[in-house]
Each structure stands twice: as C-alpha cells, then as structure tokens.
Structure 1
C-alpha cells in the first residue's frame, strides 16, 4: 500500500507544471494541429509518423529544436535512401534482403549506442525494419517504393512545420530559460540562508545540486549559440554561472543553526548579496551589493561562500569547467566503442529479438501486428533498468491511447463528419500527450506512445475509421514484442548495472580524496564531484527498476536495498570530506603539520573504502581511530570524526 502511494505521489509530481512546460505544450499542440490539417486536406499518408516527428523535434528551446530537426532530416533521408537501395538490389532474393537488412539493422543499433549521433541511426534502424513488413504485405514493387517515399515526405514536412512554429510563432529562447534557472537557484540559496526558520538540509540534496549545475552550464552553452550578446560576454556569464554553482553546492553543507553572531551576520550579508543579484537579473540592471568580509567568520562554509562572492565581484577567477570542452577519442564514436563488448552484445540481442518477432509476424500472416518488430527496437536501452522503464511506459501509453481511440471510434466518430469536428476531438488528446511527453524521463515516452497509438487508430485514414481490429492488432503486437524483448534482454547476458554503480561510487570517493590533497591556494572545484554524485543517483534509480522474475524471491529487493544504503553512505562520506577540504584550507599556520598528518590518515581511510567497494580489500581489516591533536580547531576534529564514522558505517552495510 505504501509503495503504491509512493508511486502515485511521484506520478503527480512528474505531472506538475514547471517554468516553460506550458510553452512547450502549446508549441507541440500548435504544430501537430497544423500537421493534421495539412495531411487531412492534401491526403498525405503516414500522419502518425508526422506527429511523432513533431513530438521528438519540439524541445525545451529553439536551439535544441533546430539541432534535433536537422538530425531527423538527415536521418530520414539516409534511412529512406538505404531502404530503397536495399529493395532495388534484393527485391527478388528474399534471403539476401533479410540478411542485408539484418546487417544494416545490426550496425545501426551498434552506432545508436556508441555514437553521439545515435538518433540518426535509431531512425535508420526503424525505417529498415519497418520497410521489411511493407514488402511482406505487398507484391507490388511500385506501391512499396511509393510508400517509403511518402515516409520521407511525411517526416520532413512535419519537421519543417515544427521549425517554423518554434522559430516564428512561439520561440522558446535559451537565454530566457537560463535566466529563469538562475533565478530559481538563487531562490534556493536565499532560502538556505534564512535565519528565522532554518530549513533542514539533508545530504541527498547534493545530487539535485549536481543536476542543477549541469543544467546551468548546458543552458549557457545554448545561449552562446543563440545570442550574439552572450557570445561577446561569454566569460562574464560563465563567471556568474560558476559563482552560482559554487554557492549552490556550499549551501548544501550549511549548518542548521548559526552558532555565533559573526556567522549570523555573515549569513545575512551573503543572503542580501544573493537577493541583490536576483533582483539585478530580474530587472536587467547592474548590482553592487554589500559584500561580506571573510575575516571573523568561524563557519568554514560561510567563509567560503563569502570568498566566492568577493572573487566574483572583484574580478578574481572562479573555478569553472571549459564551456566547450573537447571530448577525448573520436568525434564519431565513444572512446570504448570497439573495446567494450557490451555494445556488441546489446546490438546482437536487439537484432535477435527483432528477427524472432519478424519470424512470428511472417509465420502468422497477421499484418496488423507490425508493431511487434518496432517494439523490440524501441525498448532496447542500455541497462536492464532502462529496458524495464521503456517497457512500462510503452505498454501504459499504448493501453491508454488505445482506450481513448476505442471510445472515440465507438461513441464519437460516427457523429463527426468535418475536419473542424475532428480537430475538436483530437486536440485534447494531443494536449494530454504533449503534457506527459514534456515531463521528466520517467514518464515522457508514455506521452509519445499515447499520441502514436491514438493517431494510428483514428488518423491514419482520410475518412472516419470504424475498424476496432486495428486497435486490437497493434496492442497485440506491442505486448508480444515486449514479452520477447524482455526475455531476450533479461536472459541473454543481462546488462545489470549494480557493478557499474559500485565502480562509480569508488571513483567518486577517489575524486573526493584528490580534493583533500590539492595544492596550496588551488580552489576546490565542486562541479565534477556533484556531477558524479547526480549520475550515481540516476544509476541507482535504474537499478531499482531491473526485473527480478528470473532470480530468487526477494533477492533483487535485498540487493537494491544494500546498493541504496551504500549510495547514501557514500553521499555522507562525500559531504563530510568536502567540508574537511574547506576546513583544511583555513587551518592556522601552527596547525598545518598536524592537519597534514590527519589528512593523510583520512586519505588512507578513503583508499580503503575505494578498494572495498571494488572488492579489492578484506572487509575485516580496518585501521584504528585517527589521532587528533588538541591544537586542531574543534570543527576540524569533529568533521574528521564524522568522516571516519561514515566510512565505518559503509563497511557495516
């Protein structure tokens, strides 16, 4: 009962509005409405494909929308050209056609996983596998060629309509999106510095801070691509984002209560400075706030926040990542594309499941179940948790879309005889689908599936459709495809991510240890640590979704609970180590030697934890307590003790 309540609460949270969501839904619905009008008026086939192109191309801002649209145009062109070439060469040789299509499909799935341009190869794989079903239901070569060429037209003209709507009618500018995100982060920092009713600051907030920091840098990159003023003043905007990121991370480590008047005064001054920055961005003016002085502040976190603000306003360098960092390895493939066997196994499993579905499709001679092969590709995701999530979303979206389509076909379409009447019925479904699709990754694909299933049943013909068997056949194809894909990905070399999570946690601890031993005067950069922490939390959420039907009862729950406990312990270690790094930089000169000895001992403990997570050390062997000199500040000694306790708690899991 509690689990179902938690799922319902998460669903309600995912459906809540956020800044920019209404705009994205309006852009999607407007483009879809124009596409429906044009396709129905000019009788352009494959309306469902046109609508799905609109949904995929419409993104959070105009820059991403344009990039995605260009990639989809290239993908559709390459896919259609390959399909026509394949049919031209192998039309009279079915075995050669199937073997060649399988080879292209295998290569496309491999590149979908290993190339930054994976969306291009995803579209190629979809068109290649779907074109085989067209050949099997028609012996007329000209009809098949015309159908494939209409696929190119339906996708590309819909992308053109989408780009026009997003550029001219309702543009979502990344600059406005970035400024809203900055204001939201400043609000979080200001609330964290409240003295009257201090909020609790759990360690788990650090993962959200990492995600927020990533989002800010991504939006800044899009803003410099879109806005000339941002390009000219890139360094100034980058310094502001870096300052905000440091303040946001440090805010996660603030104490619940400020102990001394100096600390309370510093917190108030920092809060006023953040509020001044907030008002300046909101009103488009320059700010000149009263800056806090680092002298006299006892709390290390507040002292660092004061230092970050002073560095920003006095023009000092704030640590930040390069905005357009060059990636290592090939521009076309990830560094381990050829050495990591996971990618090859993933492509082979996806091909095997698609061929099994193709065998069932041709053996049963059931054309309406062509969704069986598409399902195998759509649910193919890296990691069992991702596969399971895609299965749930595809099944739930298809079921809801089918129910809506059945209701329309039985009760409403018999009374609808005009395009305007059809639009009045279709627009609410498009709005619902767009709202769900604009949500977080945990629900977004369900919105696309609702729209696609509904449009296949209701909008594929140019007159009212009363065929209930079409809805039934597509649901059957989806369910059978889900069963086959799930069995293949779970039984054959399952890509479970528990071991990956342990290695990422070990890498995170090693990053924290390196921060303890940075050179004197070198600033402490929180971004890579918080980013890695956010990635570990996302990985843990995927592990929770991994299917457990092929294991002993309750075994997956036990493993997940242990992994989740390890994640929380590592987060605690990270936060205590971060605070220790801040305190060590502020040690008086007379305590430097004792502090170095303590840091060396802490480094040994962190190395032990790293090796234990990787299974390289004996869990029974532990060092004794860390010897702490009375000369060291009380807060420093307390943080060292809490760090050691956090490491010991890790071993007890």
Structure 2
C-alpha cells in the first residue's frame, strides 16, 4: 500500500512531542554541551572576564555531532573572530571620534557583508560577522580611543577564546569519533530494516526518516574519519559501499512493509533479518562484515514467490552479499552541474533579491540601533542582534525563525526568572551557580540539537537563560536584565516582521518551483548511470531533496496572505511531491534492476504541476505504462510488477484526491 500523500499543516501538540522525543545521541550531545558550558562559566568567572553569559552561549555554535567537525569549527571560529576584531580595530581608528561617520560605517559595512552573505558561500557566517562589526563599533563609541578600547576588544576575543578552549578539550576527551557515528547509524538502519522484514505491520516512521535523510552525512563522517585517522582508507571505502548497500536494503524493506504482494514468508524473512542484525552488531563494535557468501543466508528457492516478493528478495540478497565489496572507486554523484569551485553564486550579480535582502536587513538593524540609542536604553540592544540572526532570504524562513526566537526567549527568560526568584537565594557558592548553568544548558541543548523544526528555539532559550542567571562571579538577583533583553528581542522581531513582509517580500514558492524541475532531472539521470553505487547515491539524494521541498511547502503557512502563494498552488505542489514520494521506491528498484528502462521517464512526464488535475484515471495509467509487452520471463514479470506498482500508487492518490474533492463539495453551507 502506498504511503499517504504528504499534506503538512500547522504543527500541533503531537508534532511537538515527536520533536522532543529522545533519539540515539541526543542525550550525550546535551551532556557534552552542559559540561562545556560549566567549564566556560567557571573559567570566565575565575578570571573576571566580562559577559560570562555570552561566553557560555557561544558554546552552542561550536557543537557538531562528531569531534573532528567540532574541533575544526572551533578553531576556524577563533581565527575568524581574530580577523574580525583586527578589522574592527582598524575601522575604529578612522571613525570612532565622529558619531556620524561611525553610524555610516555600521550601515555601509552591514550592507556589504549581508550582500556577500546572500550571494556567496559565506552564509550564514556573514550575517554574524556583520552583527559583530556593527555591535562592536557601537560599543567602542562609548569609550575613548586608546588603551580602554583596545582592552575591550581583547576581552571580546577572550569571550570567544575561552569557550573554544573548553570545547576543544571536552571534544578530545569524550567527543564521538566520526567513524563511530557512521557505524552506529548504519547499524541503526539495518536494525530498522530487520524489524520491518519480521513484522511488515510495524510503524514505518523510522524507516521513512532513514530514507528521507539521505546518505550525505554518513559520507562526510567517513571522510572525516580518514582525516582523523580513526579509519584506514580501505576501511572507509568498504564503509562507503556499506552505506550504499544499506540504502538498497532500506528500499527493499520499504517495499516489503508497504505492499502485501511483496511480504515474505518466515523462511525468507527470518534468515534475512537475522543476518542484518548480526551485521549491525559488527558495525556497532567498530568493524564491518566481509565475504558474505550466498550460503550464509540459507534462503530457499524464490521461484514460487510473487514477482514483487522476488524483487525484494533479490534486492536484499544482492545488497547483503556485496555489502562491503568495493568494485571500483566511484565519485559522489552530482548529475546536476554545480559551481562548486566558485565563491559567489551563479546569480550573485543578476538576482536583485541578494541586494534587497542586504538593504532590508540593514534598514531594520539601523532602526533598532537608532531606537535604543535615542531612548538611551542600552539594555534592549538585543533588538539589534536579533535583526541579524532572524533575517533570512525568504519571508517564510524569516517568520519561522523569529517565531522560534520569541518562543525560546520567553521560555528561557521565564526559566531564568524562576531560578532567580526561587533558587538563587538559597545558593552561596560558585558550585551552586554552576549547577544552575548545567541544568539550563542541558535542557536548552536537548532542544537545540534535536529536531531542526524547533532547534533554534533551544538556542534562544539558552541565550535568555544565561543572561538571567550568569550576572557575575556569584549568584545574583537582578531581574531588569531579563526584562530588558526580552523586550529587545521582541522589539527586533517586530521590526524584522514589518520590514520583511512589506518591503520586497520573497515567497518560498519561487525556490520550490525551480527545485522541482531540478529534482525531476535527478530522477531522470538514474537511467543513464552505469554504476549501481552511483544510482543509489543519486536516489538517496533525491529522496532527501524531496523531503526538503515538502518542508518548504509547509513553510508557506508562515507567510502572510499577501506573500503566500494561492491555495491551489499549495495543493498542486503537495500533490506533486506526494506523487514523487510514492514513486521513489519503484523508480529506485526499476533503475537498478532494469537499467535504461523507459518507465521512469514515462512516470515523470505526467508529474507536471500545471497538468490538468482532473484528467481521467485511465488516461493517467496509459501515460505511465503504455505500451507494455507481455511478461514472458521472471525478469519481465518483475519489471511489469514494478510498473504496475507505480501505477497503482498513482491511482490510489487519484482516488484519494477525488474523495477529498467530493467531501468538500458535500459540506453544507449556511443559508443566507
């Protein structure tokens, strides 16, 4: 049975529970973040560096799943901050004595850096650099040029250097290696496939997530493991092949789990599932299976099985037997040409949206800057910082991020205020303060390093919480800090919303339309690939891209009515992505087992978003499968079964759409 059509709506309480649910590695990441935040706070307080709360917050930008990327990110940030501080000091010597020149330099540098952010590979670091430069020039304007200004910049460097040092030490001590993460992820996927083979009726959410996640992250971990030395090059090559084979196993398991005609009897399912579990244990132990012979599977003849079941058994057997067999080195596929060597995007100087984004963000930032300067209310300077953090290329992304920032800010401020009122009065030592920091950091990290849908709220929760509870070298009770910072964040969000929804608003719809064309090209490219591993990697990347596009379509509910596309556009694109989703497994199996088959291109031709959605079911089926020769051999029967499977899934979507339309027409309307 085909999976239901994707029709994402506004998230509800059940979605929130799913986003907060534990998954492998989430608790350990939160624990590492808490340890680093505690060490950072301890060092900052011991040496008396200002803004210890900001130092603790910097930790959240340094954490990555594996220790190699975390350490490289930390050191790269240290170099970047050093260069930025040197640049700020140079600019300050030119404009610090002239307030008008200082304001003009903040605006000019902001626009320049934001344009580069939007039009190049500098994103998202460019917006942070623009924020640091502007905020530093503003703060230096309140001190005389000379030793005081220089010392302020040195303290700013220490604010970043302390958490970087703590992060590097902790990651070296307890950070997971990329090799271990790759092995654990492959083992998790194999166990999910084994569970579906044994019981096709189990929920398929985990299997869907694995297929939609793609293999890119695992490939990066394997590259970093070679760089780190935790994997030999030969081992990394074998594990890359294992990644490809695991994807094939997941595809076959999805077929078994969703199609009654593909379900396997126990004589097939049990040996296959047991083999997958043994392979998973090897991967978790740090090794990988080699030389799996056909006799190891002990499968009976498959001639009596239905064609779809034979497809599943054959696909599983081939993937298991060649699990780590490296035939020849293969490059990561990228059928769609990309300008990887260029710093600027191809449309950097032709697309006006890049300059418009820079100007909108700069205007919003300067409005906030002038507002808190004229009001002489420096406590709400977070409005200036908020502008750079929440402003993104499209209106939907911007509104989503500012929504998460508001939610995280309020949650963190409430938690911090509760600590000040009920906990801080009973603390008398630095150990008590560090315990409070650890609790807040752990809870914030649980959100920040979980689902991407709510991750940014965790960052803002940590920011507001640290500003409330870390006010000096001892427990403090000043509630005005929490109040002012919260007001500043809310004010910045209001300014960004007003400007980004009314001045040159950019809908996510344009990006979706272009990406859909590219996605279909990815699927068409499957039939022209000679390597099975390249086909699998291409299919995995296409599935991940489809999931990203579904999220983009879901984001349109964040857009105001005058920016958001029409309801017909949303329904058509949800329908098209749902059609692609139900065809993914048939197309993957067909391309691998029947190279250069025309069935894939025939399916894709009918997925035109502007096609008549009320065409007859018979016409749709004819477009997909005609003409089909009679099946004479087992291979022909398997091919025909895959073609019929794709057609049946499309017909099922047609029926569901017609039933929805009929239900809407039957809804009674109130009489006038």
Moved more, 623-632 or 371-380: 623-632
- Quick one: distance in 2 between partners of 1:556 and 1:471? 41
- Quick one: distance in 2 between partners of 1:232 and 1:358? 56
Seen in structure 2, the aligned counterparts of structure 1 residues 224 and 199 have a Cα distance that, compared at 3 Å, is farther
Map of 2:515 onto structure 1: 504
Aligned length: 631
CA-CA distance at 1:255 after TM superposition: 5.9
2:574 is the counterpart of 1:564: yes
TM-score normalised per structure 1: 0.85
2:634 is the counterpart of 1:630: no
Task: Give unmatched runs, 5+ long, in structure 1.
Answer: 586-595
Instruction: Work out which of the residue numbers 526, 541, 545 in structure 1 matches 2:536.
Output: 526
Seen in structure 2, the aligned counterparts of structure 1 residues 629 and 200 have a Cα distance that, compared at 3 Å, is farther
- Quick one: distance in 2 between partners of 1:312 and 1:472? 58
State whether residues 242 and 320 of structure 1, in contact with CA within 8 Å, keep that contact through their aligned partners in structure 2: no
- Quick one: distance in 2 between partners of 1:313 and 1:16? 33
Seen in structure 2, the aligned counterparts of structure 1 residues 322 and 229 have a Cα distance that, compared at 3 Å, is farther
- Quick one: distance in 1 between partners of 2:563 and 2:82? 49
2:540 is the counterpart of 1:537: no
Q: Deviations over 1:229-271 (max 9, x none)?
A: 4335332222222222222233323365676999865544433
Seen in structure 2, the aligned counterparts of structure 1 residues 499 and 635 have a Cα distance that, compared at 3 Å, is farther
- Quick one: distance in 2 between partners of 1:282 and 1:205? 19
State whether residues 207 and 534 of structure 1, in contact with CA within 8 Å, keep that contact through their aligned partners in structure 2: no
Q: Matches of residues 184-583 of structure 1 in structure 2 within 5 Å?
A: 184-194=188-198, 197-199=199-201, 208-254=210-256, 256=258, 265-283=267-285, 284=287, 289-291=292-294, 296=303, 298=307, 299-312=310-323, 316=327, 321=332, 328-516=339-527, 525-546=535-556, 550-551=560-561, 559-582=569-592
Q: Deviations over 1:248-303 (max 9, x none)?
A: 23332336567699986554443343233223334447555452689847422322
CA-CA distance at 1:33 after TM superposition: 1.2
Instruction: Work out which of the residue numbers 73, 79, 83 in structure 2 matches 1:78.
Output: 83
Seen in structure 2, the aligned counterparts of structure 1 residues 138 and 543 have a Cα distance that, compared at 3 Å, is farther
Moved more, 256-265 or 98-107: 256-265
- What RMSD in Å do the two structures reach over aligned CA positions? 3.7
- Quick one: distance in 2 between partners of 1:55 and 1:341? 33
Q: Which has the higher contact order (CA 8 A, sep 6+)?
A: 2
Seen in structure 2, the aligned counterparts of structure 1 residues 287 and 575 have a Cα distance that, compared at 3 Å, is closer
CA-CA distance at 1:167 after TM superposition: 0.8
- Quick one: distance in 2 between partners of 1:186 and 1:548? 37
TM-score normalised per structure 2: 0.83
- Quick one: distance in 2 between partners of 1:142 and 1:584? 74
Map of 1:103 onto structure 2: 108
- Quick one: distance in 2 between partners of 1:303 and 1:318? 24
CA-CA distance at 1:516 after TM superposition: 4.2
Map of 1:590 onto structure 2: none
Secondary structure of residue in 2 paired with 1:253: helix
Map of 2:667 onto structure 1: none
- Quick one: distance in 2 between partners of 1:215 and 1:329? 18
2:186 is the counterpart of 1:182: yes
State whether residues 66 and 175 of structure 2, in contact with CA within 8 Å, keep that contact through their aligned partners in structure 1: yes
State whether residues 109 and 121 of structure 1, in contact with CA within 8 Å, keep that contact through their aligned partners in structure 2: yes
Map of 1:593 onto structure 2: none
Map of 2:601 onto structure 1: 603
- Quick one: distance in 2 between partners of 1:569 and 1:261? 23
CA-CA distance at 1:114 after TM superposition: 4.2
Secondary structure of residue in 2 paired with 1:461: coil
Map of 2:664 onto structure 1: none
Map of 2:4 onto structure 1: none
Secondary structure of residue in 2 paired with 1:280: helix
CA-CA distance at 1:506 after TM superposition: 3.2
Map of 2:5 onto structure 1: none
State whether residues 67 and 171 of structure 2, in contact with CA within 8 Å, keep that contact through their aligned partners in structure 1: yes
